[in-house]
Amino acid sequence: DVKVTQSSRYLVKRTGEKVFLECVQDMDHENMFWYRQDPGLGLRLIYFSYDVKMKEKGDIPEGYSVSREKKERFSLILESASTNQTSMYLCASSEQVPSGANVLTFGAGSRLTVL
Amino acid sequence: GENVEQHPSTLSVQEGDSAVIKCTYSDSASNYFPWYKQELGKRPQLIIDIRSNVGEKKDQRIAVTLNKTAKHFSLHITETQPEDSAVYFCAASGGGTSYGKLTFGQGTILTVHP
């Protein structure tokens, strides 16, 4: 029944390492999103994609990049991890609805700790 | 871009009481306002949403109201139960080319005491 799958639930990395977070959805959704969740700050959008190979910056893209080579897969990349990127990362997907009233289906989250 | 403010950050009620969470948004073009509930250790899930052409929407014990003029919307939970304890997030999104990009509030931790 799992519809949005994030490859890693828990990761521990060292400062400066390159980190890949993978997300796969099986609902044939056009839109995919990466959010970061921190206590007191809510969910902040890092990047989103509305089609294969298309990407748009969200509100906090600095220090991150993304890749969408296939419709079902959206990857978040930390080129050089830093301690302030320690957080919970949530992937989500949605259909493309013209009105913008899109319902997000979230993954279980990936908790990243950078030492 | 859009900015969503949510209050209060924490809310503690007794079972059976009502709970109200309020949000304000900045972009008058926003036209879709969902609410997500995140139980401890679980993923956020949509519980109710409202579009800009509607002032109020109800679903059993939960309701959402929208005031477009004042740019604020609220979640109302009546007859609260312990299983309502969770983090609640409001969000706003515009139409057009926004691709359903949601801007979330900071979240409210609701605790319902038996």
Least CA distance to B6: which residue of chain A? A42
Residue A64 token pair: 């991150």
pLDDT number for residue A2: 63
Taking only the tens place, the pLDDT of each residue in A68-97 is 999 999 999 999 999 999 999 999 999 887
Phi, psi angles (nearest 5°) of residue B49: -145, 165
**Pairing mode, strands B108-113 and B10-14:** parallel
Least CA distance to B87: which residue of chain A? A42
Q: What percent of chain A has pLDDT over 70?
A: 97
- Chain B positions in Cβ-Cβ contact with residue A48 (cut-off 8 Å): 99, 101
- Chain B positions in Cβ-Cβ contact with residue A45 (cut-off 8 Å): 101-103
Using alpha carbons only, what angle is made at residue A4 by residues A91 and B106, rounded to the nearest 5 degrees?
A: 35
Q: What's the gap in Å between the CA of A84 and the closest CA on chain B?
A: 18
pLDDT in tens, chain B (114 residues): 889 999 999 999 999 999 999 999 999 888 899 999 999 999 999 999 998 888 999 999 999 999 999 999 999 999 999 999 999 999 998 655 556 789 999 999 999 999
Using alpha carbons only, what angle is made at residue A96 by residues A90 and A102, rounded to the nearest 5 degrees?
A: 60
Taking only the tens place, the pLDDT of each residue in B5-22 is 999 999 999 999 999 999
- Chain A positions in Cβ-Cβ contact with residue B34 (cut-off 8 Å): 103
Q: Would you call A27 an interface residue with chain B, using a CB distance cutoff of 8 Å?
A: no
Cα–Cα distance, B52 to B87 (Å, whole number): 24
Q: Quick check: B32 and A35 CB within 8 A?
A: no
Q: Would you call A86 an interface residue with chain B, using a CB distance cutoff of 8 Å?
A: no
